[in-house]
Copies of this chain bind each other. A is one copy, B any other.
C-alpha cells in the first residue's frame, strides 16, 4: 500500500546498510560474492520496501532490455493469434516481454515499427514480413527471425510450415480418394512465400497424376462473393460427373469457399470435396467437418523465439530454416 515514491536501489542499499553495488549484485544473482549476512539484509530490505528493479534503467545500462518484438503483417487472422500464443509462452518462460505490432498490411507502417524497435532497444525481432518489402531491412542491425516468409535481401533465421510436404499431403489424400479434378483456390499470390510454394507444389505434383486434372485460380479478394461464386460455379459445372475437390490455400480461403458453396447450394462432402490449409477451430464443425492440413502454430511461434534467443545470446552460426511438417486432419468433406 505504498503511496510513497517507488523505491530505488539506493533506498534498498540505505535500509540494508550496504552499498548499491551489493544490491545490484544481489539482483543479478551473483550470490557467490556476497556474504550470507548481506544477502539476508538486502532480501529483507527489498521486501519491506516492496522494491522492484527498473528494467528501463538496467536495460539502458547493459543494453539488455529483455524486450522482444513480434511484428505481424496482419494481426486480424487467427493464424497470427496462434503464433503469438506460442511466442508469448516462450517469452514468459524465459523472462522476456513481448511488444506486439501490427503492420496492418501497410508497408509504411511496417517501416515505422522497425524504427520504433530501435527506440525501445528491443533485443530482437520476430517478424512476419509484408511480402518482399520496399524499404531496407538489411541496415537493421538486430537479431531477427522471420516466420512464414523469407525476407528478400536480408538473411535471417526462418521458420514456417513445410509447404511442400504439406501440399503433398493434401494432394496425396485427394488422389487416394480418387478425385479427378481439383481446383486450387488462393488469394492473390503476390510474392507471399507460402502461397507461392503451395500453389507451385500443387502444380508440379498434379503433373504426376494424369488421372487427375489440377487447376489454379488466383482471386484478388477472396471474401468477395462476386469474385468467387462464379468461379466455383463454373468449376462445379465443368465437372460432368467427375469427382471434384477444392483445395483452399489457407484458413480464410477455406472459410470463404465454404460460404460460397453454401450460397451456390453445393454441399461439400457430398457434391464436392473440400480441403484447406490451416486448421481453424471451426473446421471440425462446418458441415460434417472439413479436412485440413494443420500447422503446428504454437510450435512455430515457440521455435521462432528459441532461434531468436540463441541469436541474442550471441549465436553467429549460419542462418537456419526450420520447417515444421503439416498434419492431415481427415474429415468428412473429402470422403464423398
Contacts and interface: CB of A to CB of B under 8 A. Distances in A.
Interface residues of A, number: 52
Interface string A43-87: 000000010111111011000010100000001101001001100
Number of copies: 2
Contact of A100 (B2, B60, B100, B280): B100
Contact of A65 (B56, B116, B262): B56
Interface string A86-120: 00110010000111111010000100000110111
Interface stretch (A143-151, A184-192, A282-290): A282-290
B81 A78 contact: yes
Contacts of A141: 2-3
A50 B282 CA distance: 47
Given A3-B141, A85-B102, A56 B285 contact: no
Contact of A52 (B78, B101, B118, B288): B118
Given A81-B81, A255-B281, A88 B59 contact: no
Given A75-B88, A84-B100, A99-B97, A121 B281 contact: no
B56 A255 contact: no
11 contacts: A2-B139, A50-B139, A52-B115, A52-B118, A56-B59, A75-B84, A75-B88, A76-B85, A98-B99, A259-B284, A282-B285
